[in-house]
Amino acid sequence: MKAVRFHSYGGPEVLKIEEVEMPEPGPGQVRIAVKAAGINPIDWKLRAGYMHEMMPLALPAGSGFDASGVIDAIGEGVSGVSVGDAVFGKGHHTMAEYAILQEWAAKPDGLSHEEAAGFAVAIETAARIIDQVGVKPGQALLVSGAAGGVGSAVIQLAKAAGIRTIGTASEPKHAYLRSLGALPTTYGPGLSERVAALAPEGVHAALDIAGSGVIPELVAITGDPSRVLSIADLSAPQYGAKTSFEPTESTKALADAAALFTAGSFTLPVEKAFPLDRIADAHELSAQGRVTGRLIVTIG
């Protein structure tokens, strides 16, 4: 089968499409014929070697952590699914014609494989950090970096849980944030004042998704560093804020989001879909940091 691989850390040009052995599903896993796979910032961070201390890779390495497709092999101990079922979920080396998923949910009929391909990492991350930052129904949550994959999922999962969000993005994306259910505002100087005007009663907690050096300001806005959590800024603990880097089991979160999609309350729009042979362009666009919603690669 064809798979994206790289033999050394480097720029997008190290990405190759190669013939490799089909992966076999282990206990608790399924193999899918991949229809589409999601691009996440971690894909180009790993490829460039930025993460080699935190997550060293055995080279040559594959790429990709989420996908949507059709089950074609089932590992030991898996129940509730059959060969031929359409699913989306989390796995490793999903940028390939076939991939192993560790966690998955049934793909709703009305959801395309292209959109579903971008669901799993964003949903797992969003559900985890809403939980870990400790915000409850009826409270307000500030989301710094709200228009990308994770931020879009946070806004909608928070709304479904009765949590109000204020999200930061550049002005042209404010209508998009509003459509997902957030009160939008711009990032940059004066954030505290803008948030105070939008939420005079204050915000209970804040998430730093963009990793843009705003932790001290988020601590000042919430008034308590333990109610600030970052997924992208390693300096956060210096200010007493939390970080979250370890994925948690996401089967329920994926199924819940699929049900929200069916109810018309969840979507992760695909900004751009690339064919597999343009994987390098997909990495480059993701690395520019301006994606609205998700980028995906169509494969099958």
- Which chain residues interact with ligand NAP by CB under 6 A? 40-42, 121, 125, 144-145, 147-151, 168-170, 173, 187, 209-212, 231-232, 244-245, 286, 289-292
Contact (Cβ atoms closer than 8 angstroms) between residue 206 and residue 221:
yes
Nearer to ligand NAP, 23 or 293 (CB): 293
Nearer to ligand NAP, 29 or 152 (CB): 152
Task: Indicate the residue whose CB is closest to ligand NAP.
Answer: 148
Helix boundaries (H) for the chain: 41-48, 113-117, 120-133, 149-160, 174-180, 191-198, 215-222, 251-262, 279-287
Least spacing, CB of residue 1 vs ligand NAP, in Å: 27
Half-sphere exposure of residue 1: CA atoms within 13 angstroms, side-chain side? 21
Least spacing, CB of residue 273 vs ligand NAP, in Å: 15
Least spacing, CB of residue 298 vs ligand NAP, in Å: 18
Nearer to ligand NAP, 180 or 210 (CB): 210
Least spacing, CB of residue 164 vs ligand NAP, in Å: 18
Least spacing, CB of residue 234 vs ligand NAP, in Å: 10
Least spacing, CB of residue 74 vs ligand NAP, in Å: 28
- Among residues 43, 45, 49, the alpha carbon closest in space to that of 9 is found at 49
CA 129/CA 125 separation, integer angstroms: 6
Nearer to ligand NAP, 136 or 290 (CB): 290
Half-sphere exposure of residue 30: CA atoms within 13 angstroms, side-chain side? 26
Least spacing, CB of residue 24 vs ligand NAP, in Å: 27
Nearer to ligand NAP, 71 or 195 (CB): 195
Nearer to ligand NAP, 31 or 90 (CB): 90
For residue 237, CA distances in Å to 65, 113, 178, 244 come to: 27, 38, 31, 11
In the chain the beta strands, taken as DSSP E runs, fall at 2-6, 16-19, 30-39, 61-62, 66-74, 86-92, 98-106, 140-144, 164-168, 183-185, 205-208, 228-230, 242-243, 270-275, 294-298
Nearer to ligand NAP, 71 or 142 (CB): 142
Contact (Cβ atoms closer than 8 angstroms) between residue 39 and residue 69:
no
Which residues neighbour 79 within 8 Å (Cβ) at sequence distance 6 or greater?
A: none
